[in-house]
Structure 1
C-alpha cells in the first residue's frame, strides 16, 4: 500500500515537472520573437509603392508613388512634401523594438493597439502585397509609441509618434511648390510694375523699367521680390468651387525664368463662410499647375497694394498728409460788464470819450435837427442796450447842493425821460435791497452823476452848454467815481 502511494506521488511529480518545462519553453519562444533591440519590420524603403493610413474616426489617407514623386490620390493628386514619405519609410525600417510590455488581448486593449481601438493603422504595400502592417497606440514616452504587429499579440514600443503618421492631407502637402528663387528669375511684372534683372559688371541688379538706377529705392524692390518668391500654400482646394472665383482675380503677377518660360500667379479672395465667420485667405492658381491652393491672407495683402511709385526714391515725401482736425471754436461766455463801462457802451458812436472834449458836429443837418429828436434817439438806444437787464428799483434822485440851477433843471429833465430805464443789474438789485440807507444814498448820488454825464454829452450836438456847466458836471462825475469804488 505504501509503495503504491509513493509510486503515484512520483508520477505526479514528473507530470508537474514536464508541464513546467513546457510552459517555460513556450515563453522562451514568445520572448525570442520579441527580443529587445531587434528590427520591428523587415522591408526595403525603396520597394514600397503605397502607404495606407487609417485614423480612429474612420479617416483614410493614401500616399502613392508616381513618376513625379509621392502624391495623394484622395486629395486631387496633390504632391506630397519632398522626402517626407521617404523619411517615414526609412524610420520604420530602422525602428528597433524594445522588450514586450504585454502579450494578452486585454493588454492590447489597454494600450489601444487592437483592430477596433487604435490611434493609427498603418499598412505598407509593395504593389498589391502587404509587406508591413501594425497598429500604433498610446504614447510610450517622448517620441515613442506602443505598437503591435497585425500578426502578433506582443505589444512593444518603437521610436515613432502618431503625428509622424498623420491622417490629414494638409500635413503631407508640399507647401513649397509655389516658391520661386530670385536667382532663377529674370523679370517680374505686377500691376504697373515691371522689374528686369540686368548684369552690371560682375553684379546682377534689378531695375525698374523706365527709371534709372539712382531713382530706384533698392530696399523696396528687394522687399517686393521677397514677397513674390515666398508664396507658401496651406492646403489644396476643390477645383469645382474655386475656378469660378479666379475669373476675376484680386491681384496677379507674371514671372519670367532664366529659360524664358513664364508663369502667372493669380489670386482671388474667397467667399466661403465657416461657422458664420468669413475665412481670411486667398485662392491661388498657377498657370503651370492644374490645382487650386489656399494661401494665407497676410502673404497677398502687400501684393494687392503694390504700386510703381512706392519703388521710387522719395515716395515718403509724396504721401498725402491727412490734415489735422481743427477744434471747433466755442463762443466765450459773456462777461459781466461794470456799471461804468455800461454807461459808456450805451453812448452813441459819434460822442466824445469820457476824458476828451466833445467835438462839435460839422454836419449842418444835425445842427438844425430838433433837440427832442436827438434825445429820443439816445433814449431808444439806451433802452435797446439794456433791454436784457432786470429793472432796478426806483431811487429818488437827489440834487447835489453845489450844482447850479441850470444844471439841476437839465438833470430833472433827463431823470424824467429815463424813469423807466433799467440802470442796475440783477446783482446790483439784490445788493441794493440788502444795503443800508447810507449805501442807498451813495448809489443815488452815483446814478445822478451818470445821468448828468449823458445829458452833458448830448447837449453839444444840439445846443452847446456853458463851459461852466460842462466843467461842473465832469467834476461831479470824477467825485462820484471814488464814491462808487467805496461802495463796492
Structure 2
C-alpha cells in the first residue's frame, strides 16, 4: 500500500516538473520572438513571389511576380512598380521591432491589430508557403506603426506606415510605362510634323522635314520631344468603355521610330467629363488603356509645324480695351485706328452748327427778356378801359331807377 502511494506521488512529481519545463520553454520562445530590437520577420526579399494586402473594409490588392516584373491580377493585370515593391520588401526584411506595448488579446483591438479590427492585413508568400503574416494598426509615431504577427498576441512597433501598404491599385501602378528615351528614337511623326534625327560629329541633330538644319528651331523641337517622351500615366481604365471612345477619330496621335526600326504609336481620346476631364491613352504595344492628365496631352494637341521653324512669332492678341470697343488688333497700322474713331462730318461744319445753335439760343433768350420788360405797361393799359366802363355803369344806374319808379306810379292811378 505504501509502495503504491510512493509510486503515485513520484509520477505526479514528474508530471509537474515536465509541465513547468514546458511552460518556461514556451515563455522563452515568446520572449525571444518579441524581444526588442530583434528582426520582425525572417525572409529574403528576392524569394517573395506575391504580396496580399487587405484593407479595413475588406478591399483586397494582390501584387504578383510575373517574369522579371510585377503585375496586379485584379486590376486588368496592369504592371506594378517594381521599384516600389522592392523597397517595401527590403524595408520589411530589415525592420526591427520595438518593445512590446501589449501582450493580451484584448489589447489587439485597442491597437487595431485584431483579426476583425485592423488597418492592413499583409501576407507575404514564397510560392505556396507563407513567409510573413501580420496585422498593421494604429500609428506608433512618425513613420511607425503598431503591428502584431498573426500567430502571436504581442503588439510591437516597426518603421512602416499604412500608406506604404496601400490597397489602391493606382498607388502601385508603374507610371513610367509610357516613357520613352530620346536616345532610342530616330524619327517622330505627329500630324504634319515629321522629325528625323541625324548624327553629326557624334552629336544628334533633329531636323524638320522640308526644312534645313538652320531653319529648324532646336529649342522648340527639344520641347516637343520632351512632351512626347515624358508622358506619365495615372491609372488603368476599363477597356470596354475606353475602346468605345477611341473607336472615333483620336484627338491626337503620334508615331515614333526607334533605332532598331520598330515603330510605336500612341493614340489619345479625350474624356470630356466636367468633374474629371482627362485623356485616354492606347499604346500599340499594350492591350491596356490608361488615364493621362489633360495638361500633359494639350501640349501635343497644340503642336504646329510652323512653330518649329526659326523666326516664327505667335499672333498678337487684342488688348482688353480693344476687344470691348471692337477695335482692330494692335498690329494694324495706326492711321486705320485713328480714322475709325473720327467723326464723319468735317471739323468746320461742326463749328458752324455750333455757332448757329448758340445764336438761336441767344435770340430766344432776348425775346423772353423783352416780354418781361414790357409786361407792366400792358397791365396799366388794360386797367384804364375797365375803370371807364365802371364809371359809365354807375351813371346809367340812377336813370334806370327813375324810369322804374315812374312806371310804378302810373300803374297805381285809377283808370279814367
Superposed pair shares fold, TM > 0.5: yes
Q: CA deviation at 1:43?
A: 1.4
- Which of these residues, 288, 292, 299, is aligned with residue 289 of structure 2? 292
Alignment partner, residue 281 of structure 1: 278
Alignment partner, residue 8 of structure 1: none
Q: CA deviation at 1:62?
A: 0.4
- The Cα offsets for residues 110-160 of structure 1, whole Å up to 9 and x where unpaired, read as 111101111100011122222210000000011100000000000000010
Would the alpha carbon gap of residues 133 and 341 (structure 1) be closer, same or farther in structure 2, given more than 3 Å must change?
Answer: closer
- Which of these residues, 350, 363, 369, is aligned with residue 424 of structure 1? 363
Aligned runs of 1:438-477 on 2, under 5 Å? none
Q: CA deviation at 1:429?
A: 4.6
3-state DSSP class of the match of 2:87?
A: helix
What is the TM-score of this pair, normalised by structure 2? 0.74
Root-mean-square deviation over aligned CA pairs: 3.1
- The Cα offsets for residues 81-109 of structure 1, whole Å up to 9 and x where unpaired, read as 12221221111111100110001122111
Aligned runs of 1:16-31 on 2, under 5 Å? 30-31=30-31
Aligned runs of 1:214-253 on 2, under 5 Å? 214-247=214-247, 248-253=249-254
Q: CA deviation at 1:202?
A: 2.4
Bigger shift: 121-130 or 188-197? 121-130
Q: CA deviation at 1:257?
A: 0.6
Alignment partner, residue 441 of structure 1: none
Bigger shift: 228-237 or 39-48? 39-48
Alignment partner, residue 36 of structure 1: 36
- The Cα offsets for residues 51-106 of structure 1, whole Å up to 9 and x where unpaired, read as 10000111100000011411000011000112221221111111100110001122
C-alpha distance in 1 between matches for 2:176 and 2:69:
14
C-alpha distance in 1 between matches for 2:357 and 2:183:
90
Q: Does 1:95 find its partner at 2:95?
A: yes
Alignment partner, residue 484 of structure 1: none
3-state DSSP class of the match of 1:91?
A: helix
3-state DSSP class of the match of 2:57?
A: coil
Aligned runs of 1:103-122 on 2, under 5 Å? 103-122=103-122
C-alpha distance in 1 between matches for 2:343 and 2:367:
31
- Which of these residues, 299, 323, 327, is aligned with residue 302 of structure 1? 299
Q: CA deviation at 1:305?
A: 1.3
The number of aligned residues is 335
Q: Does 1:181 find its partner at 2:181?
A: yes
Would the alpha carbon gap of residues 436 and 118 (structure 1) be closer, same or farther in structure 2, given more than 3 Å must change?
Answer: farther
Q: Does 1:125 find its partner at 2:122?
A: no
- Which of these residues, 284, 300, 311, is aligned with residue 314 of structure 1? 311
C-alpha distance in 2 between matches for 1:156 and 1:60:
24
Would the alpha carbon gap of residues 334 and 201 (structure 1) be closer, same or farther in structure 2, given more than 3 Å must change?
Answer: same
Alignment partner, residue 382 of structure 1: none
Q: CA deviation at 1:47?
A: 1.6
3-state DSSP class of the match of 1:252?
A: strand
What is the TM-score of this pair, normalised by structure 1? 0.63
Would the alpha carbon gap of residues 331 and 309 (structure 1) be closer, same or farther in structure 2, given more than 3 Å must change?
Answer: closer
Aligned runs of 1:381-400 on 2, under 5 Å? none
Q: CA deviation at 1:217?
A: 1.3
C-alpha distance in 2 between matches for 1:322 and 1:336:
37
Would the alpha carbon gap of residues 182 and 436 (structure 1) be closer, same or farther in structure 2, given more than 3 Å must change?
Answer: farther
C-alpha distance in 2 between matches for 1:329 and 1:58:
77
3-state DSSP class of the match of 2:230?
A: coil
Would the alpha carbon gap of residues 254 and 25 (structure 1) be closer, same or farther in structure 2, given more than 3 Å must change?
Answer: closer
3-state DSSP class of the match of 1:243?
A: helix
3-state DSSP class of the match of 2:122?
A: strand
C-alpha distance in 2 between matches for 1:335 and 1:107:
103
Alignment partner, residue 383 of structure 2: none
Alignment partner, residue 50 of structure 1: 50
